[in-house]
Amino acid sequence: MIEDAAFEIHVHGDVKLCAQANFDAIQEALQPLWKYAGAKSLADGADSLYEDEPGIRYDPAERLLHMCWTVEGDEDFRQRLDDLCMNLNDLCEEGAPIEVTFYDAEYDEDDEEAGRESRDDFLLLFVGPTPAAIMQAQRDLLVDDVISLMERHFDGAELSGVVAEIDQLFARRFERLTTSLDLSRTPRSPSGPHGSNRRPRHLH
């Protein structure tokens, strides 16, 4: 527990892991979280700050990593998110969103009455085994959000064109991504193999 923590930070998401993901690999992947909480192991750090939240749990039958976990912290927690996403990319079976919310622990009624704004912040991160899987997760979430909003005004059957346009947007984005990755490859020699191509840690 961090003394005088500026934020309560909530991490939320369900991530489908590959069959090769064993406990040791999961514990290593989640080290940026439990180590930040001051724990010595995943088992020690899996519980949330709040008892009514399930914390960090893994369902081996479904191969689902469930995260509904709050920790006290500061802005430096953001530095742990890149490592977390990179680690989970290596264990994911498919793309998934992870929500991270920073709640201003110092904001109170006096601040609200005085018209001061809180420092609350929200991040939406995506993990996946490939850029295509990450984009698929982004696409699915966007479609759900857009359909949910527009169904207040239109019948679901009328929205097929909207979904098709979203699909075209992501298809063009993926084409640009694959083109840029191809261009970034530099041959080591005229007949040698291409250089390595690291996938992005996560896409916001």
Q: What is the CATH number assigned to the segment(s) 7-129? A: 3.30.70
Handedness of CA 127, 97, 46, 104 (dihedral sign): positive
> What's the predicted TM-score (pTM) here?
0.78
pLDDT at 175: 83
| Mean pLDDT, rounded, for 77-87 | 96
Q: Is the pLDDT assigned to residue 115 strictly greater than 90?
A: no
Q: Is the pLDDT of residue 182 over 80?
A: no
Longest dimension (CA), the chain: 70
pLDDT in tens, 36-72: 999 999 999 999 999 999 999 999 999 999 999 999 9
Question: Per-residue b/e over 14-24, b at no fewer than 16 CB within 10 Å?
Answer: ebbbeeebeee
Q: Is 39 helix (H, G, I), strand (E, B) or coil?
A: coil
* First and final C-alpha spacing in the chain: 28
The radius of gyration of the chain from alpha carbons, rounded to an integer in Å, stands at 20
Better-scored residue on pLDDT, 139 or 3: 139
107 or 169: which carries more pLDDT confidence?
169
In single-letter form, the type of residue at position 184 comes to S
Position 194 pLDDT exceeds 60: no
Domain ranges within the chain, ordered by starting residue = 7-129, 134-184
State pLDDT tens for residues 119-134: 899 999 999 999 999 9
